[in-house]
DNA sequence: ATGACGGACCCAACTTTGTGGAAA
DNA sequence: GTTTCCACTTTGTTGGGTCCGTCA
């Protein structure tokens, strides 16, 4: 059947159909079959308008009978439905009074159906691949039989939906947005980094840090292991909450988070950085810059993922909503004390047990570190929330307070399972590491909850921040710290520390975790000292996956260049672990003295910090040593990142090799590429040998190499022979017909290794070697015959011609004009020895030419002035002679106001003067024999416009532009 | 879920070296 | 009769890159 794609109509039908859809399933199939058959017969009777129509009808027929036969429950999903009244004998004719809206529509439809044969032929019909299911309903009241066919968007139609691809403009816009977003995120990172350096926040953190923890960093060589207790403590004492809606500065948000011991992931990560910095560890704040996609369209999808809260809502809309979104989790504006908060939480039914726990715990923690037994329960509650970034925490925490504990627990387990299944891949990929991690997690777990807790812990350990609910970006690692551990490796290294999730040295897990949460590690940037450094290579092993999603590297490097300097300057002066500092106040001062003083932020130094001269001198000495160390540290890190870039693991899928920067397989080489030398084989992918990308050589034709100033060595065979394009072939064949050649239709390509520098014939005896067209193709300087020079001057060939010097026109390229490509000439090529003579002559010639042109212009101007004045005078005479009432009105006006202004520019003042003069001048009648007399004293000269105004006593004035 | 593969589309690169008629 | 100027028509093809859908 042919269905007309009329959305209005179909929607109307659908609404009707929905009203009458409660169908008796027993009779439905038969009745609908019958109805459809009748319709088909009627259409047949009227004569089909084409074979295609018939075919479709048959399809529809068979579909209706077949499908209905198979699915008799009346709930089938049909591709297309139309509702109309069966206007058979039992239909409209019998009971016109029963025509409800549906019937009217149906009638209309049918009328259109009957009357528009011609129209149907004319209109562009869409092939309905739909099957028809006739929903026939016997209305008990009216007895009208209706066949319901619904037009839904069939899979086929969806398939045929035209694919709209992004235009270049949209791509450009997307790239711009991407860049702006990146810049914003960089700025954000710097703000956070700056806040982490706040001495008060650092001092506050130190004040709540148990003394034994600050003492654990006493070794001169810091190891990653030493950071674990710190991370653990932080993890247990600070808790992730949903993002606060209130807008305030990050600095105050950080203070608030510190006070309430809970905050967003970003804030907590910043606090951890501040803590490490307070302990005088060289620390960076690391963030994934999850910028808008660089490609258009992707944003439609991305935008859903960008806003985690939105996304969260979307996800949980579909599942059982355990509680209302607890607003109290968001940090109150005036940062009330925990007790206040507790009250609020208790009084409002939306209380979060987490906040209670936090409060009680924080009280405990202030005196001592929490014992593991107490912690376990809390952790069980908060482990998942933390991992699920923001909102998930609320959901699982609040379910306790909801009272529906069982349901909530089930939900919790379900979510946990979802999360774990979503991250299963990552677990496998990091199995070894997980084993290590789980070994380190030696706490006993026996109860199911504890097991879950353990799993969650393992998950979080293995994934960074695991739970990817709904396979979205929830729970993705976004912020962490990097601490420089001088004791790691031989040279020291930057160690990944995610204190929020109690993960130390988990850089290899970040990618898996991000993968599991659908977050792309396009940009991982480390911030320190208001600077930034791209450390994506450290965390991203599958560079080929993100390479295309990153912005142009030149632009990115240019943006980061000044930030890198700041960063390297800052991180160089912060790692001095020789002397542990037990006293927090001392530490604060030391931090300020040794760390912040090196930062390029003079304003940041508190005014009350008075550095003793001695320590200042000591600092100078240290800083000189530090700078060299910093340089080394930076260099080492750069080398490490570079090494990672060069030792990327082989991708497992073929298509990754298409544009891989390091590896290639022969299959994905382009037409003009070849492997030379063909080896070494680095591995295999799906049976295809993998070669280094360095082996891929680009081939060109001889002519193309000539443009590069290279020529093919003698006796070199083409490295590759490819088919010529059809158009060229045609041209070639027509030429071949004349010459009888047969080996056309192919293009011979040569590689770089087959070339030598272009050796053109030398210029001899002042004669320029030319090509067959008597010219020199100057694609570049390399294409100039030795002993010649290219003079790119207009009209220089006249000079050469006049001096009878041999020259060749220099063809510099082609341009398309009038539908064909025409050569573009620019200057001439002459022998070196004539260069000076030609230039000299050219200068003279140009001078002469300029003078001539000036002379010509002046003569032309004088001539024009003469003509103009002559015509004015002639006109005036004519007016005087014949203008008595015979002239048109405008000419008469001219007579009455006989000041004629000549010249295009007349200053307003002049106009006014003339007007005044006109007004003041006595009305006079010009006599025929009056001749204007321009007295010298009546003349005025305007220097600005070089215009002289001559006036006759009769009022006539002439403006003359003086040359 | 993933990868291979093919089709469709966009876009950039490549191509490439006048001629006939009117007016002066 | 010769020289000069101007209009003609705004290429068209190919292949790489990318995206999407299908299939295994």
Which residues contact residue A544 at a Cβ distance below 8 angstroms, ignoring those fewer than 6 apart?
A648, A651, A656, A659, A660, A661
Q: How many Å from the CA of A963 to C1' of C5?
A: 34
What gap in Å lies between CA A94 and CA A358, rounded to an integer? 77
Same-domain check for residues A462 and A537? yes
A507 domain residue, yes or no: yes
Which residues contact residue A213 at a Cβ distance below 8 angstroms, ignoring those fewer than 6 apart?
A229, A230, A233, A369
The nucleotide lying nearest A727 (C-alpha to C1') is C13
The nucleotide lying nearest A164 (C-alpha to C1') is B9
Long-range CB pairs of A915-924, under 8 A, 24+ apart, other chains included: A917/A951, A917/A955, A917/A957, A918/A955, A921/A955, A924/A954, A924/A955
CB of A632 lies under 7 Å from some atom of strand B = no
From residue A380, give the alpha-carbon distance in Å to each of A11, A453, A464. 51, 5, 17
C-alpha triplet A253, A279, A334: angle, nearest 5°: 20
Q: If 0-12 CB within 10 Å is exposed, 13-18 middle and 19+ buried, where does residue A355 land?
A: buried
**What are the two backbone dihedrals, phi and then psi, of residue A665, each rounded to the nearest 5 degrees?**
-120, 150
CATH number, domain of A837, equals 3.30.70.2460
A600 domain residue, yes or no: no
Helix, strand, coil percentages for chain A (3-state, nearest 5) = 55, 15, 35
CB of A659 lies under 7 Å from some atom of strand C = yes
What gap in Å lies between CA A427 and CA A422, rounded to an integer? 10
CB of A739 lies under 7 Å from some atom of strand C = no
**How many Å is the maximal CA-CA distance in chain A?**
130
From residue A553, give the alpha-carbon distance in Å to each of A288, A294, A559. 17, 13, 10
pLDDT at residue number A76: 37
What gap in Å lies between CA A839 and CA A946, rounded to an integer? 38
Q: Are A791 and A830 in contact (CB under 8 A)?
A: yes
Q: How many Å from the CA of A936 to C1' of C19?
A: 83
What gap in Å lies between CA A897 and CA A874, rounded to an integer? 17
Same-domain check for residues A310 and A440? yes
Mark which of A877, A896, A915 sits at the end of a domain: A896
A279 domain residue, yes or no: yes
Same-domain check for residues A707 and A825? no
Same-domain check for residues A21 and A63? yes
A610 domain residue, yes or no: no
Joined tokens for residue A814: 């082609």
Following DSSP, what letter does each residue of A527-565 receive, concatenated? EETTEEEE-HHHH-S-HHHHHTTS--HHHHHHHHHHHHH
CB of A655 lies under 7 Å from some atom of strand B = yes
Mark which of A115, A136, A160 sits at the end of a domain: A160
Nearest to A876 by CA among A927, A912, A946, A830: A927
Q: How many Å from the CA of A77 to C1' of B17?
A: 66
CA dihedral A293, A294, A300, A303 (to 10 degrees): 30
Q: How many Å from the CA of A164 to C1' of B7?
A: 15
From residue A129, give the alpha-carbon distance in Å to each of A11, A83, A126. 18, 17, 9
Q: Are A541 and A521 in contact (CB under 8 A)?
A: no
CB of A644 lies under 7 Å from some atom of strand C = no
User: Could you say which DSSP state residue A800 is in?
Assistant: H
Nearest to A901 by CA among A885, A913, A883, A892: A913
Q: If 0-12 CB within 10 Å is exposed, 13-18 middle and 19+ buried, where does residue A125 land?
A: middle
Q: How many Å from the CA of A517 to C1' of C16?
A: 33
pLDDT at residue number A603: 35
Same-domain check for residues A792 and A752? no
A519 domain residue, yes or no: yes
Same-domain check for residues A882 and A943? no
Long-range CB pairs of A403-406, under 8 A, 24+ apart, other chains included: A404/A322
Q: Are A344 and A328 in contact (CB under 8 A)?
A: yes
Q: How many Å from the CA of A817 to C1' of C1?
A: 31
CA dihedral A893, A895, A896, A902 (to 10 degrees): 80
Same-domain check for residues A197 and A324? yes
Q: How many Å from the CA of A818 to C1' of C9?
A: 5
Nucleic acid strand B: bases within 7 A of protein CB: 1-5, 8-12, 15-18
Same-domain check for residues A144 and A237? no
Nearest to A898 by CA among A937, A927, A936: A927
CB of A653 lies under 7 Å from some atom of strand C = no
Which residues contact residue A496 at a Cβ distance below 8 angstroms, ignoring those fewer than 6 apart?
A286, A480, A481, A482, A503, A504, A505, A506, A507, A510, A538, A539
A787 domain residue, yes or no: yes
Q: How many Å from the CA of A184 to C1' of B16?
A: 47
Residues facing residue A145 across a β-bridge:
A138
Nucleic acid strand C: bases within 7 A of protein CB: 8-22
Residues facing residue A493 across a β-bridge:
A485
What gap in Å lies between CA A903 and CA A246, rounded to an integer? 69
Following DSSP, what letter does each residue of A841-891 receive, concatenated? HHHHHHHHHHHHHHHHHHHHHHHHHHHHHHHHHHHHHHHHHH-SS-S-HHH
What gap in Å lies between CA A845 and CA A827, rounded to an integer? 15
Cite the beta strand spans of A669-759 per DSSP E.
673-675, 683-685, 688-692, 696-698, 710-712, 720-723, 746-749, 755-757
**What are the two backbone dihedrals, phi and then psi, of residue A692, each rounded to the nearest 5 degrees?**
-65, 145
Given the structure tokens 């105004």, which residue do they identify? Answer: A949
The nucleotide lying nearest A295 (C-alpha to C1') is C18
End-to-end CA distance of chain A: 86
Mark which of A106, A132, A160 sits at the end of a domain: A160
Name the helix (H) or strand (E) containing A145: strand A145-148
Same-domain check for residues A789 and A811? yes
Domain that holds residue A924: 897-963
Q: Are A449 and A400 in contact (CB under 8 A)?
A: no
Q: Are A535 and A527 in contact (CB under 8 A)?
A: no
Joined tokens for residue A715: 């006796």
A509-526: b (≥16 Cβ within 10 Å) or e? bbbbbbbbbbbbbbbbbb
From residue A819, give the alpha-carbon distance in Å to each of A717, A813, A814. 37, 16, 12
Same-domain check for residues A431 and A344? yes
Residues facing residue A150 across a β-bridge:
A81
Q: How many Å from the CA of A353 to C1' of B23?
A: 98
CB of A835 lies under 7 Å from some atom of strand B = no
pLDDT at residue number A963: 65
Q: How many Å from the CA of A235 to C1' of C16?
A: 51
Same-domain check for residues A191 and A116? no
A586 domain residue, yes or no: no
pLDDT at residue number A106: 37
Q: Which of residues 296-315 of A touch strand C (CB under 7 A)?
A: 297-298
Residue A171: is the preceding peptide bond cis (ω within 30°)?
no
* Dihedral over Cα of A158, A159, A161, A166: its sign: positive
Q: How many Å from the CA of A817 to C1' of C8?
A: 10
The nucleotide lying nearest A688 (C-alpha to C1') is B4
Q: How many Å from the CA of A817 to C1' of C4?
A: 20
Nearest to A520 by CA among A494, A542, A499: A542
SS3 (DSSP) at A685: strand
Same-domain check for residues A773 and A870? yes
Joined tokens for residue A731: 């041209």
CB of A295 lies under 7 Å from some atom of strand B = no
CB of A247 lies under 7 Å from some atom of strand B = no
Q: How many Å from the CA of A822 to C1' of C8?
A: 14
The number of domains in chain A is 6
**What are the two backbone dihedrals, phi and then psi, of residue A798, each rounded to the nearest 5 degrees?**
-60, -40
Taking C1' of B8 and every protein CA, the nearest residue is A163
Q: How many Å from the CA of A818 to C1' of B20?
A: 14
Task: Calculate the CA A524 to chain-centre distance.
Answer: 16
Q: If 0-12 CB within 10 Å is exposed, 13-18 middle and 19+ buried, where does residue A384 land?
A: buried
Q: Extract the residue ranges of chain A whose pLDDT is less than 50.
A: 1-145, 147, 149-161, 298-472, 573-626, 730-743, 887-927
CB of A162 lies under 7 Å from some atom of strand C = no
CB of A811 lies under 7 Å from some atom of strand B = yes
């Amino acid at each position: 059947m042919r269905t007309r794609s009329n959305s209005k109509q179909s929607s109307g039908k659908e609404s009707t159909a929905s009203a009458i859809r409660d169908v008796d399933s027993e009779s439905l199939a038969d009745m609908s079959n019958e109805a459809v058959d009748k319709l088909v017969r009627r259409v047949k009777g009227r004569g089909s308008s084409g074979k295609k129509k018939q075919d479709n009808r048959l399809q529809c027929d068979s579909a209706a009978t077949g499908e209905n036969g198979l699915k008799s429950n009346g709930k089938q999903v049909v591709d297309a439905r139309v509702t109309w009244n069966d206007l058979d004998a039992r239909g409209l004719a019998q009971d016109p009074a029963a025509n409800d809206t549906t019937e009217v529509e149906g009638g209309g439809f049918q009328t259109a159906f009957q009357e528009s044969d011609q129209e149907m032929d004319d209109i562009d019909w869409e092939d309905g691949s739909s099957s028809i299911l006739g929903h026939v309903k016997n209305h008990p009241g009216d007895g009208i039989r209706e066949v319901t066919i619904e037009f839904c968007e069939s899979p086929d139609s969806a398939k045929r939906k035209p694919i709209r691809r992004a235009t270049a403009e949209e791509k450009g816009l997307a790239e711009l947005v991407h860049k702006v977003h990146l810049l914003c995120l960089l700025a954000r990172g710097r703000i956070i980094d700056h806040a982490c350096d706040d001495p008060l926040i650092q001092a506050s953190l130190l004040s709540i840090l148990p003394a034994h923890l600050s003492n654990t960093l006493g070794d001169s060589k810091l190891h990653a292991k030493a950071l674990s207790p710190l991370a653990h403590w932080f993890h247990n004492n600070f808790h992730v909450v949903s993002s606060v809606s209130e807008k305030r500065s990050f600095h105050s948000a950080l203070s608030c988070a510190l006070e309430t011991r809970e905050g967003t992931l970003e804030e907590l990560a910043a606090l951890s950085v501040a803590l490490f910095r307070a302990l005088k560890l060289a620390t960076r704040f690391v963030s994934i810059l999850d910028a808008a996609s660089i490609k258009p369209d992707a944003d439609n999808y991305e935008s859903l993922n960008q806003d985690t809260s939105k996304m969260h809502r979307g996800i949980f809309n579909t599942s059982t909503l355990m509680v209302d979104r607890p607003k109290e989790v968001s940090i109150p504006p005036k940062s009330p004390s925990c007790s206040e908060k507790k009250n609020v939480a208790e009084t409002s039914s939306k209380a979060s047990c987490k906040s209670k726990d936090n409060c009680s715990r924080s009280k405990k923690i202030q005196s001592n570190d929490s014992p593991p037994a107490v912690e376990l329960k809390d952790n069980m509650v908060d482990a998942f929330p933390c991992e699920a970034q923001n909102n998930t925490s609320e959901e699982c925490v609040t379910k306790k307070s909801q009272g529906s504990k069982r349901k909530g627990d089930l939900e919790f387990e379900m979510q946990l399972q979802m999360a774990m299944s979503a991250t299963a891949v990552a677990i496998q990929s990091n199995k070894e590491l997980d084993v290590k991690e789980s070994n380190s997690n030696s706490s006993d777990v026996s109860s199911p909850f504890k097991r879950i807790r353990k799993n969650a812990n393992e998950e979080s350990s293995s994934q960074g921040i695991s739970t990817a609910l709904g396979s979205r970006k929830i729970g993705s690692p976004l912020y962490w710290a990097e601490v420089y551990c001088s004791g790691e490796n031989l040279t020291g290294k930057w160690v990944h520390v995610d204190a929020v999730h109690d993960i130390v040295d988990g850089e290899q897990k970040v990618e898996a975790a991000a993968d599991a949460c659908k977050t792309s590690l396009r940009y991982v940037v480390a911030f320190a000292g208001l600077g930034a450094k791209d450390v994506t290579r450290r965390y991203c092993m599958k560079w080929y996956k993100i390479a295309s999603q990153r912005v142009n590297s030149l632009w990115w490097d240019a943006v980061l260049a000044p930030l890198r300097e700041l960063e390297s300057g800052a991180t160089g002066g912060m790692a001095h672990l020789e002397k542990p500092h037990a006293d927090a106040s001392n530490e604060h001062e030391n931090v300020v003295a040794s760390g912040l003083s090196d930062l390029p932020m003079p304003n940041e130094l508190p005014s009350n910090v008075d550095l003793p001269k001695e320590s200042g001198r000591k600092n100078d000495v240290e800083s000189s040593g530090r700078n060299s160390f910093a340089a080394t540290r930076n260099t080492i890190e750069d080398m490490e990142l570079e090494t990672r870039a060069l030792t990327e693991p082989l991708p497992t899928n073929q298509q990754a090799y298409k544009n891989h920067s390091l590896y290639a397989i022969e299959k994905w080489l382009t037409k003009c590429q070849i492997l030379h030398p063909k080896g070494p084989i680095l591995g295999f992918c799906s049976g295809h040998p993998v070669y280094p990308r360095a082996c891929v050589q680009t081939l060109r034709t001889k002519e193309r190499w000539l443009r590069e100033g290279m020529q093919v060595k003698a006796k070199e065979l083409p490295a590759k022979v490819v088919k010529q394009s059809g158009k060229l072939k045609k041209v070639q064949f027509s030429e071949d017909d004349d010459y009888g050649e047969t080996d056309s239709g192919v293009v011979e390509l040569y590689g770089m290794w087959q070339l030598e520098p272009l050796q053109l014939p030398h210029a001899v005896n002042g004669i320029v070697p030319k090509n067959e067209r008597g010219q020199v193709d100057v694609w570049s300087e390399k294409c100039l015959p030795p002993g010649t020079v290219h003079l790119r001057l207009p009209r220089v060939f006249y000079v050469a011609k006049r001096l009878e010097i041999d020259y060749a026109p220099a063809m510099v390229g082609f341009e398309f004009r009038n539908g064909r490509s025409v050569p573009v000439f620019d200057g001439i090529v002459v022998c070196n020895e004539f260069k000076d003579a030609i230039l000299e002559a050219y200068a003279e010639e140009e001078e002469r030419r300029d003078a001539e042109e000036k002379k010509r212009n002046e003569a032309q101007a004088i001539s024009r002035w003469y003509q103009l004045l002559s015509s004015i005078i002639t006109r005036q005479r004519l007016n005087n002679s014949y203008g008595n009432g015979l002239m048109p009105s405008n000419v008469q006006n001219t007579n009455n106001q006989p000041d004629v202004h000549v010249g295009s520019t007349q200053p307003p003042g002049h106009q006014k003067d003339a007007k005044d003069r006109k007004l003041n001048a006595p009305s006079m009648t010009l006599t025929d024999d009056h001749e204007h007399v321009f007295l010298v004293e009546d003349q005025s000269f305007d220097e600005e416009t070089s215009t002289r105004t001559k006036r006759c006593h009769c009022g006539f004035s002439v403006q003359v532009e003086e040359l």
